[in-house]
Chains A and B, each alone.
Chain A
Amino acid sequence: MAVPADTSQPRLAAGCRWGPETKTGAGEERVILFPEGAIKLQGTGRQVLERCDGQRTFGEIIAELQKQFGTADPAKIRGDISQFLEQLQKKRIVDY
């Protein structure tokens, strides 16, 4: 499998879903629940996955976040998000 194509529509894989939101010392965080595990998400990771709704394309997600983090290198943002989603895809948490 490769990194997501711009036209793909990333989404949570079957049986993976958001759990409750909890407030911690480090700010608000949410968990994604999946078979045999959970990941806590805050900050950028959370912003990426909340956009993986099966509607937005990968290209749109990248564009939204590049706009939001205007000062950062757009190529780096793209690279980081691609890698992040590819890792989650291997764990069968995200499909695209």
Chain B
Amino acid sequence: MVPNPLALIAEVTHRCPLHCVYCSNPLELAGTKNELSTEEWTGVFQQCGKLGMLHAHFTGGEPLARTDLTELISAARAAGLYTNLITSGIGLNEQRLQTLVDAGLDHIQISFQDSREAAANWIAGAKAHAHKIELSREIRKHKIAFTVNLVVHRQNLDHLEEMIAFIEQLNPERVEIAHAQYYGWALANRVALLPTRAQLEKAVAIVADAEQRLAGRMRIDSVVPDYYAKYPKACMGGWGRRLMLINPAGKVLPCHAAEVLPGMSFENVREKTLDWIWQESSSFRKFRGEDWMPEPCRSCDRRSEDFGGCRCQAYLLAGSDMVTDPACSLAPSHGIVETVVREANADTAVAQLAPASSFVQLQKQTTDLWSYRTNPE
């Protein structure tokens, strides 16, 4: 028996009014028709409660696109879970917020794309910024936890101080300063998003200063982008160790990106119990423990800290999910990341790319355009 998961990431829909160029959703989005029903999600939350899981993170897409979100929050809370809504805020007004709070919402997390309205709307591919500010004021009238999530990258890092000052005014308890992670849409748009080393170093200093200045008022959680790190991130706290993600169609995954891995099949909550999937399924067992590990991980002192890094990144960058994450400086394939980083620093100008006109252009992986996230069928 492995210990049960701590938290569920519930991707309740892939529909979204925003089209962020760094979206973590897979390029192949789950269709609307196949989404789990209210009853099916309720069954999922009940199973999570019985497994002793603590948190349910509602994400998407945009969870508010589900008209039954109130019932879903209420069901998760009734099952004993701490409920967190990760949202753009589009589709939320004063009244609906009150309904969600009444249903037992514990924590709301709003993403901001920038402090500057035009830039924020440009990154999101939607006019959302002004509404988010208004909504943040509304949120502070309720006794729920409020986090602002800020994704940072090449296009906005140069005014990080301004963005932190902007967030201070929104008065959240917590801010996440998250460097874009290169999967899904962000990988397709990496050239436009990967920061320079100078940008990164300056950002680290700014964040450290803000942490000290804001201690006790606003907690800052931040992560260094792994392309610039010496060792890889312990992705999701290790494969099948802490977290379980369920996609809109009921597929149970160890992480956001796992569906890209070739030759793997993932179980569905419509067919199997969560307990069985966690304990017994071949997908969750595949990279659990150390038996699968290649060298240099197998004999590395850090293997129980970073678990060989991210399996999806190993596949996406090095072509195999069985090798050390190329973000690791000890990985045989680290040269791949070094090359990308070198290119990102060769020209330190921040070129603003024009949007690709179609999904077809994205699939060609052009480097002179960027691609807004599309919507599922």
Contacts and interface: CB of A to CB of B under 8 A. Distances in A.
Interface in B42-62: 52, 54-55
A31 B107 contact: no
Given A13-B173, A92-B174, A34 B145 contact: yes
Question: Interface extent on A, as a size class?
Answer: 10 to 19
B143 interface: yes
25 contacts: A1-B216, A13-B145, A13-B173, A14-B142, A14-B143, A15-B106, A15-B145, A15-B146, A17-B82, A19-B54, A19-B82, A20-B80, A22-B52, A33-B55, A34-B82, A34-B145, A35-B84, A35-B106, A35-B107, A35-B173, A36-B55, A38-B6, A92-B145, A92-B174, A92-B219
A67 interface: no
B179 to A, nearest CB: 17
| CB-CB nearest 7 A-B residue pairs | A15-B145, A1-B216, A33-B82, A92-B173, A35-B107, A92-B219, A15-B107
B205 interface: no
A15 B219 contact: no
Interface of A: 1, 13-17, 19-20, 22, 31, 33-36, 38, 89-92
A36 to B, nearest CB: 7
B217 interface: yes
B54 A31 contact: yes
B217 A35 contact: no
Contacts of A15: 106-107, 143-146, 173
A33 B83 CA distance: 10
B107 A90 contact: no
B215 interface: yes
Contacts of A92: 145, 173-174, 218-219
Contacts of B216: 1, 89-90
Interface of B: 6, 52, 54-55, 80, 82, 84, 106-107, 109, 142-147, 173-174, 215-219, 221
A14 B144 contact: yes
Most chain B beta carbons < 10 A, residue from A1, A19, A36: A36
Secondary structure type dominating chain B contacts: loop
Nearest to A22: B52
A17 B106 contact: yes
A89 B217 CA distance: 8
A1 B52 CA distance: 35
Contacts of A14: 142-146, 173
Given A33-B106, A36-B55, A90-B215, 10 more contacts: A15-B107, A15-B146, A16-B145, A19-B54, A36-B221, A38-B55, A38-B82, A92-B145, A92-B174, A92-B218
Nearest to B84: A35
A20 B145 CA distance: 19
A41 B148 CA distance: 28
Nearest to B218: A92
A15 B143 CA distance: 7
A33 B54 contact: yes
A44 B107 CA distance: 28
A90 B145 contact: no
